Amino acid sequence: MTAVTVVSYGAGNVASVQFALERLGATVRLNADPGEIADADRLILPGVGAAGYAMARLSDLGLVAPIRAFARPLLGVCLGQQLLFEHSEEGSGTPLLGLIPGVVHRLEPGPDRPIPHMGWSRLSTVRPDPLLDGVGDEAWAYFVHSYACPDGDATLARADYGGPVPAVVRRANRWGCQFHPERSAAAGARILKNFLELPA
């Protein structure tokens, strides 16, 4: 049975992630101990809310360095994907983990595009990746976010919300999903299953 550690740092809805992983047969550990985070087989960094608060919590718990140094599969979810980048425009500018180049920016509202972007959007694959095996261009995912990551070399799949929104990203052993895979029905379950099957 695959073991996965979910970083429980007070800035993410860890329970729904835990239940989704357990439905797939994984052994889930909720943890915020730096040593155990460093030794995990694979790691999920969830997140909701403000980037500044999330980074402060990670710093207070001594988790920034072990997450930056983590060399096995790492998946950031929602705000957790944004934290993988260098900076966020939120507030007066928030330094992030710096694992993927780029600055997270606020989404622009429009007449039919309220902020936050909340609801189902279709995924469009940019390039193949093991995390997206079996997830086609007709797949839909559930988003809740006001900020978006930069669209660049790390983008694996996009959604559209008045422009391209990087929905899945990757750099080396670090992946991110801007949406909530634990709330995204079959497509989300497939992505989590693929993550559990990545070689550690």
Q: How many CA atoms lie within 13 A of 41 on its CB side?
A: 14
Q: One of 117, 149, 177, 180 is an active-site residue; which one?
A: 180
Q: Where are the alpha helices (DSSP H) in the chain?
A: 14-23, 34-38, 51-60, 64-69, 79-83, 185-197
Interval 7-20: pLDDT, tens: 999 988 899 999 99
Decide if 18 contacts 30 (C-beta within 8 A): yes
Decide if 123 contacts 141 (C-beta within 8 A): yes
For the domain that residue 190 is a member of, what is the CATH number? 3.40.50.880
Q: One of 90, 117, 177, 182 is an active-site residue; which one?
A: 182
Whether 177 is a known active-site residue: answer no
Whether 180 is a known active-site residue: answer yes
173: containing domain: 3-197
d(CA 26, CA 17): 11
Whether 78 is a known active-site residue: answer yes
Interval 23-76: pLDDT, tens: 999 999 999 999 999 999 999 999 999 999 999 999 999 999 999 999 999 999
Which residue, chain included where needed, has tokens 């990746």?
Answer: 129
- pTM more than 0.75: yes
Domain count, the chain: 1
Q: One of 78, 90, 117, 177 is an active-site residue; which one?
A: 78
What's the burial of 124, exposed, middle or buried (CB within 10 Å: 0-12/13-18/19+)? Answer: middle
